[in-house]
Structure 1
Amino acid sequence: MIDRKQRIALACASLAFFSVNTVAEVQTATLEKATLNIDTDTNDFTISALHDSGFQVTYLTDDNGTPYANLPSMALPEPALTDVTNKKANDVELVETATTLILKLNNIAAHVDKATHAISYSVNGKIVAKEQGGLSISNNGVSLSFALDEDEKLYGGGQRVLGMDRRGNTMPLYNKAHYGYTTSSNQMYFGLSAVMSSKHYSVLFDNTASGQLDIGSSTPDELLFSAQGGRASYIMVLGESLADTVQSTVAVTGKQPLPPRWLLGNFASRFGYKSQDEVTSVVDAFNTQDIPVDAVVLDLYWFGKDIQGHMGNLNWESETFPEPEKMISELRNQDVKTVLITEPFILTTSKQWESAVANNALAQNDDGVPYTFDFYFGNTGLVDVFNEAGQDWFWQYYEKLAAQGVAGWWGDLGEPEVHPDDIQHTWSNAGLGNKTVSGAEVHNGYGHQWAKTVYNNLTELQPDTRPFVLMRSGFLGSQRYGMVPWTGDVSRSWGGLKPQVELALQMSVFGMAYTHSDLGGFAGGETFDAELYTRWLQFGTFSPVFRPHAQDNIAPEPIFHADPVKSIARKFIQLRYDMLPYNYSLAFENALYGTPLMRPLAMKYDESDWFENAESYLWGDALLVSPVTSPNQVAWSTALPEGVWFDFFSDTRYQGGQTVDYPLTQDNFPVWVKAGSFMPMTKGLSRTEQFDARKIEMHYWHDNSVNSSSYTYYEDDGKNPASVEKGLYTKLHVRSSVDENAALTLTLDSEGSYIRMPKQRNITYVIHGLRDKPQSVSIDGNSVPVTWDDKGKTLSLAFSCDYQQSVEVLIM
């Protein structure tokens, strides 16, 4: 690290002691398993190998050599520096040169300059990142500085509306609500103290304190993080491509657990349902109007008749919800899940105030009494989610609600929306004992800690259930606790719709793969804009979560709108359910590999062309989606990467490598399928629980320009929390190849199994893109009947097979 005194030498555990000739006294370093401990005459620090693709640097002392009391890491899984490093110890090598210490891990390395202590990082021997000011501790807090190349582009900062390349911007590192935002926002609900470079590295500043991120704004060639205290540590992740860097970053910070399959259904949600009768009548309307629905979300009226004065009651409002357990049970019998909002604010007027005070559940002031303050909802205290007493007190209400049948949990205002800098939290931690920390030090970790408490307790209480945890704010690694973020109180306007792709992609590359928006927009709007609503729901069909939600002066649910809005919404919601096998397989990929559901085009195509693109995105590998974000358009321009692409709705063939003006109608928009893509689908579901693994339509988009392609479909029971961990799933491998005579061969085989997996599968191949009806079609050498749609140029053939059987289809 730059500006340190210029003396260092080494001793390596289980290696020979050696000295270095320097102009000053000799210092030491030891390699213990996968951690290099460096002792200098100023800052002592460690470099630890993480997973197989990263390093963590942590300062142990300040510039005066005084021990530094680091807070625990939030960005890393708790066993990151024990289990992971132990497993990788044999892969770590320390090499010394006359001027440098080199800590090698596979094809990556951290190079420590002996004189300055500055660290640079290499991939395959090439330096790709280097400290400029390094990590520093001073009276002003903690800072981290890296050098930037002139042509370097960077994602980073989390939720902001600044453009995909965040370089040239300075942004607060302080999670804060931005009500009614549109096309510009420098500070929002869920920031991330991290960047990801076009040079294929990511830097994660593992510090939850209030601070600032400057990406080449003040000094063009410098990346600078700063914070008002907190942890003195950062993580460097190195990859060979953008896709590799994304997956490696998630591998280091922890993968998202596989969610319940019902997360991928339609949610009935608004601000908010005011009574039990209203909830049941809304679900009845979805049923009678033949619109699929899987969950109903209850906002704050479930615990109070009014918006203000009741937050913290944490119990049903008995007059408006007289029989909540009956309501939940009746909904559950219809395969509809109940999701409830909770907030961490306990008003002094709430029914639980005295209990919270008596049980030491609230954050305190300097005098050791609950810190109270005024905000929109009333005079309040704040649950101390860092303290075991606060966690236990808060959890008892979740436990009671879970016993009543509540299936999902919505944590709102978790920035926290109001969080005084001088409020005192007591952090209960086995390694620290009880440590008092200020609101300023842990502000950005509050939502993360809250989600952790809810998720961990739910997994213990309901070990056979996958938790659903919807949260507005968190920190790096929050995905480990099943967090499903959304983009906050967006304006119900075209300006609110426009930045949603950017927001989701900026979060997804750092692991928050279920980031989504309130479909239709939340805030404001005096009159119903039918086109805006329709376009937003169309976009939502290809989003991680489909949840229309808004202030109820204009109904967010399609059941309350007339045709053609309702019929278009029904069509796209039904398409969402038809796509369930494909979407759930994307969720599986995310749980296994950290791959986002929504992906920047640069993850697959030329990064120099696509790194900054926020108009389109990939939904999995097969689909390219370009939402319509302006009104009254008759065509929508979409830039297509090289290759052949098909219109998802009409099967019209387009040559890529150009910008196409896609002709719009009110019930279509640009969704493209890459030639050679497979897509498993189903038909006619009104609930995700109705999914029948025995019946799959496997769509394939054929073009002779694609000589071969492959796809893996993942499947389990949709519920078991241990599916990934214990390998309780099956993989269906499908492949295509075209020979010199233009004959198409499709092969199918599978591996793996899960409990209660059906013995047989009925598969219908639907092949798009054929020019003419094939002369012959055979399965395993036997001719079979087919259905040919001459207008759509699609071929359909159905067959049955054992789950473990291999099948080959030849089309000539």
Structure 2
Amino acid sequence: MTIQTLAKVATLTLLASQAALAQNADRKFTSVAERDGQLEVRTSDGSYFIKPYSAAIIETSFVPQGESADPASHAVVLLPAAVKTTLKQKGGSIEYATAGIKVTITKSPFCIAYAYKGKPLVAEKRGYIHVTDDVVKGSKDIHKGEPRQLEAIEFALDKDEALYGAGERAVGMNRRGYRFTLYNKAHYGYGEHSELMGYTMPVAMSSKMYAIHFDNPQTGYLDFDSGKNNALTYEAIGGRKTYQVIAGDSWEDVVGNYTSLTGKQPLPPRWAFGNFAMRFGYHDEQEARDTVAKFIAEDIPLDAIVFDLFWFGKEIKGTMGNLAWDKDNFPQPERMIADFKDKGVQTVVITEPFVLNTSSRWREAVDNKVLALGPDGQPRTYDFYFGHTGLIDIFSQQGKDWLWGIYKGLHAQGVAGVWGDLGEPEYHPTDVRHATGSADQVHNIYGHQWAGLVADGYQRDFPNERPFILMRSGYSGTQRYGIIPWSGDVNRGWDGLQSQPEISLQMGMQGVGYMHSDLGGFANPVLDDELYQRWLQYGVFQPVFRPHAQEEVPSEPVYREEHTKALAREAIRLRYRLLPYNYTLGFDNNQQGLPLMRPMLYEEPRNAKVRAMSSTYLWGKDFLVTPVLHPGQASADVYFPANSAWFDFYTGEKQSGGTTGTTRAIALSADHVPVYVRAGAFIPMSKVVQTTRDYNTRQIELHYWHDASVQAGSGKLYDDDGLTAQAYEQGKYELLRFTSTLRDKTLSLRVASEVGKQYQRPERGIALSVHNVGAAPSSVRVDGKVAVFAWDQATRLLTVQMPASDQANRSVDIAL
């Protein structure tokens, strides 16, 4: 028997064993037919509709007898392509296949199983079933009272596969063993563990490199084998019985395919990659002006200032819903905003979906039918922390028009970004009625709809501008609206910091690339300088750099003691030096769905020991980062992935990951967390600017980490004006591609420029630094001409100045 035959037998055996575990004896196959680009499989209790979106994405919908199909999806935006499929009937089974995914339907006992390129992925266990919600009366879960019936879809799992997904949680990277509530809910002051937070998603991802997205926003549960019976179960109060299986050859493919299905994140404005001034909150104009002035005086870069709820009211309670500047404390907001803009600082203001009956807009909201209703058809009002309130019906045309009118007015004043807070919604009684459904039916898409309102408004009224939408709640696919989500009101403690890498890594895997934390921690008046320093040092390598906290202890570095301020300045300045690299990460996220923060799973998908790892992660493709998560640490355990050399970003010291990956204790410095760069990596950097308004790529620093083990390397830099929506699609961009080749003792570096049709390539100088050069080169040629260079024996650093040129292609040849 040949190796190929053995492999085929092994695959068939796996499929057979999977089918045996995954079956529903009560469901009987009756017929199959292929029509209109999908397969219809009829059973004794309903019909399955199986539809490919691409070779690696396939959708299955079950419609029980007596029900009709609901075609509406809040998550999916990809149109099903004309995918070539094959249909084969083999006695007791049917195979429906694309070039990638194969669906095998076993007739008796009935079973549906999925494989990708011959590799079994997952199979329905009992498929569509009813289950009893066993939540007891008085519990803290979403449903209080008597048990109720839920509709569920059950899958069979391999006994050793790790699971990820379910949105924003802090339970450990491998989330198997939990039954997660699907009900967006803020968790104030959480620390290292939180099972329910503000941004849940009905998506499961497996270490076998597939994802299942359950295409239904209604409240329920996602059970990651909590019963230890090798079952993955999606449970909901009602709605669609639709899911998509997404596969790929790598994690980059899986997440890229998922974001093709649900939408890619637009590139934010470049200032979003800068530093924010923010606290709870600035009480008046003078406080805000003094803060911005202090950043400039202290030589700490700044790009935005964010106003919490005091912009519209003097008190925390009783004023929510005013949504207009308090003219006593902010007498000339337009002038203040314009003055900030002249300094390169953008203004962002908080808004909430609640209108209190004590606010100045209460009567306006009622008269304009803006608010969600109760069972009696009148605006549903209730008490919560901030006062007696109604809730904007973001699903009604009146609610959308009213709220967008407010945003449009703020835009006219110069406000550059929207902060949407409490968008779970924070308190959402089950008897509230919205234009498109009950509270529990639409609760999980409230933030999604809100972000969509802002994105759609910008596209319609300000089509050339990129929106900035800071929100803590969303749903599958909200990334396509440009949401910049944060991880909520985290405790200002080491326990709060410890959960942050996991949260951002998981959300990036689920398509939400900009999940980040309130740097320094938000909740509780804790003054811990070491914690603050380490959190900001981690923040350099997370998607958005935004310290924020309760005002009793300052969140802004300019108000901290001198040593802490100096370390914060150093971190922020590094953040700005990395703008070319970081902005390019945003471009890759926009084009390919690639997360900015990536788990070690991306690097070593088949290495079981990294499946649960979040302590060391990748920032983009080429940085290896290990945050310092405990007080008083003298060293940190850094994991070095296999098959690559890694260089200390600060000292140049080389580490090897060996052939299997290795963990080493690395001595810590007070001024940074451990950061390493991959051998063969290009890292474009720039000089520090006070604000990204002054950033350009006419002069860049290009760092290359040479190693004899690397025969070829590559990198890139994306550039545009930082403001125009869809600049790349409009041809208003430049893309620099960097390559290296090592042959014999000649290291050749190339820079190639691709310029969009509506863009002018600048004349550019490049300060090239080649790291890990063991001896002075015998010669260096730039664009074919002998060039002057410098080599430092102690640091093993070679530096070459490439003179300014508007050439599309540049070259450096180094004779080592």
| Same fold per superposition (TM over 0.5) | yes
For 2:601, what is the secondary structure of its paired residue? helix
Instruction: Give the corresponding residue for 1:515.
Output: 515
2:117 corresponds to 1:124: yes
Q: 1:31 aligns with which of 19, 31, 35?
A: 35
Partner letter of residue 495 of structure 1?
A: D
Provide the residue aligned with 2:134 in structure 1. Answer: none
| Residue 189 of structure 1: aligned partner | 198
Deviation at 1:115, TM superposition (A): 4.5
Once the two structures are superposed, residues 100-150 of structure 1 have per-residue CA deviations (whole angstroms, 9 ceiling, x without a partner) of 333322221222334555321111123211011213468823211110001
Give deviations 1:15-61, integer Å, cap 9, x for gaps.
xxxxxxxxxxxxxx23213x32344442123222124421122233x
- Deviation of 1:727 after TM superposition, in Å, equals 4.5
Aligned-partner SS, 1:545? coil
Q: Does 1:168 pair with 2:177?
A: yes
SS of residue matched to 2:46: coil
2:333 & 2:96 partners in 1: Cα distance? 59
Mean alpha-carbon deviation: is it higher for 247-256 or for 535-544? 247-256
Corresponding position of 1:440? 440
Aligned-residue Cα RMSD (Å) equals 1.7
Aligned equivalent of 1:341, options 341, 350, 359: 350
2:776, 2:791 within 8 Å by CA — same for their partners in 1? Answer: yes
CA displacement at 1:388 relative to structure 2:
1.3
Residue 374 of structure 1 aligns with which residue? 383
Matched residue, 2:682? 678
CA contact (8 A) 1:589 1:595 kept: yes
Q: Would you say the 8 A contact 1:268–1:297 is kept in 2? A: yes
- Answering whether residue 593 of structure 2 is matched by residue 594 of structure 1, we say yes
User: What is the rounded CA distance, in whole Å, between the counterparts of 2:758 and 2:510 in structure 1?
Assistant: 33
Q: Are 1:669 and 2:673 counterparts?
A: yes
Question: What code does the residue aligned with 2:440 have?
Answer: A
Return the alpha-carbon distance in structure 2 between the equivalents of residues 44 and 137 of structure 1: 16
Kept after mapping to 2: 8 A contact 1:140/1:229: no
Q: Partner of 1:655 in structure 2?
A: 656
Per the alignment, residue 614 of structure 1 pairs with: 614
Distance across 1 between alignment mates of 2:24 and 2:397:
40
* Structure 2 counterpart SS, 1:549: coil
Q: Deviations over 1:389-426 (max 9, x none)?
A: 21111111111111111100111011111011121111
Counterparts of 2:523 and 2:109, CA distance in 1: 52
In structure 2, the partner of 1:496 is 496
Q: Deviations over 1:239-268 (max 9, x none)?
A: 223232122222211110111111100000
Q: Quick one: distance in 2 between partners of 1:232 and 1:132? A: 15
Tell me if 1:357 matches 2:357: no
Aligned to 1:645: 646
1:665 deviation in Å? 2.1
SS of the residue corresponding to residue 89 of structure 1 reads: coil
Q: TM-score, normalised by structure 2?
A: 0.92
1:89 lines up with 2:82 in the alignment = yes
Could you say which residue in structure 1 is the equivalent of 2:136?
none
Q: Which residue in 2 is equivalent to 1:603?
A: 602
Answer whether contact 1:51 1:251 (CA < 8 A) is retained: no
1:232 deviation in Å? 2.2
Give the corresponding residue for 2:127. Answer: 134
Moved more, 214-223 or 789-798: 789-798
Q: Is the Cα contact below 8 Å between 1:622 and 1:673 reproduced in 2?
A: yes
Question: In 2 relative to 1, CA 417–343 (structure 1 residues): closer, same or farther, beyond 3 Å?
Answer: same
Question: Which of 71, 80, 98 pairs up with 1:105?
Answer: 98
Determine the C-alpha separation between the residues in 1 that align with 2:364 and 2:106.
56
The code of the aligned residue for 1:546 comes to F
Tell me which residue corresponds to 1:55.
Answer: 58
Conserved? CA contact 1:141–1:230, under 8 Å = no
SS of aligned partner of 1:44: strand
The superposition leaves residues 55-79 of structure 1 with CA deviations (integer Å, 9 ceiling, x where unpaired) of: 122233x2xx2124748312212xx
Does the CA-based 8 Å contact 1:579-1:682 persist in structure 2?
A: yes
Taking the aligned partners of 1:551 and 1:373, their CA distance within structure 2 comes to: 26
Aligned to 2:752: 749
Structure 1 residue 90, shift from structure 2 partner:
4.5
C-alpha contact 2:54 2:83 (8 A) present in aligned 1:
no
Specify which of 757, 761, 764 is matched with residue 758 of structure 1: 761
The answer to which of 284-293 and 731-740 deviates more is 731-740
1:159 aligns with 2:168: yes
- Partner Cα separation in structure 2 for residue 134 and residue 727 of structure 1: 47
Using the TM superposition, give the Cα deviation of residue 574 of structure 1 relative to its aligned residue in structure 2, in angstroms: 0.7
| Partner Cα distance (1:637, 1:223) in 2 | 33
Q: Deviations over 1:255-298 (max 9, x none)?
A: 10111111100000111111111111111111111100000000
- Which amino acid in structure 2 is aligned with residue 735 of structure 1? T
Quote the Cα distance in structure 1 between the aligned partners of 2:732 and 2:97: 35
Structure 2 match to 1:541:
540
Deviation string, structure 1 residues 538-574 (Cα, Å, up to 9, x no partner): 0001110000000000000000012211111111101
Verify the 8 A CA contact 2:264 2:480 in the aligned structure 1: yes
TM-score (norm 1): 0.92
Are 2:815 and 1:797 equivalent residues in the alignment? Answer: no
CA distance in 2, matches of 1:75, 1:768: 45
- The alpha-carbon distance between structure 1 residues 297 and 214, as it changes in their structure 2 partners (threshold 3 A), is same
Alignment of 1:689 onto 2:693: yes
CA–CA separation in structure 1 for the residues paired with 2:608 and 2:376 = 56
SS in structure 1 at match of 2:431: coil
Q: Say if 1:531 and 1:631, in contact at 8 Å, map to a contact too.
A: yes
Matched, 1:295 2:296: no
1:17 match = none
CA distance in 2 between partners of 1:467 and 1:724 (Å): 16
Aligned partner of 1:221 in structure 2 is 230
Distance in 2, matches of 1:698 and 1:474, equals: 38
User: Deviation string for 1:707-759 (max 9, x for gaps)?
Assistant: 2211122222222212233444332221112223x332112212232534334
Q: Check whether the contact 1:343–1:414 (CA below 8 A) recurs between aligned residues.
A: yes
| Residue 146 in structure 1 maps to residue 120 in structure 2 | no
Contact map agreement 2:730 2:758 (CA 8 A) in 1: no
Match of 2:736 in 1: 732
CA gap of 1:215–1:274, structure 2 versus 1, over 3 A, is same
| Amino acid in structure 2 at the alignment position of 1:519 | L
Please give the residue correspondences for 1:432-471 in structure 2 after superposition, counting only pairs within 5 Å. 437-471=437-471
In structure 2, give the amino acid aligned to 1:285.
Answer: K
Q: Secondary structure at the match of 1:317?
A: coil
Query: Structure 1, residues 473-522: CA drift from partner, whole Å, max 9, x if none?
Result: 11111101001111000000001001100000111001110000000000
Instruction: Check the 8 A contact 2:305/2:348 in 1, yes or no.
Output: yes
Q: What is residue 388 of structure 1 aligned with on the other side?
A: 397
- Matched residues, percent identical? 42
Match of 2:31 in 1: 9
Structure 1: 5+ residue stretches without partners: 11-28, 428-436
The residue number in structure 2 matching 1:26 is none
Residue 599 of structure 1, CA deviation: 0.2
Partner of 1:22: none
Which among 263, 266, 284 is matched to residue 257 of structure 1?
Answer: 266
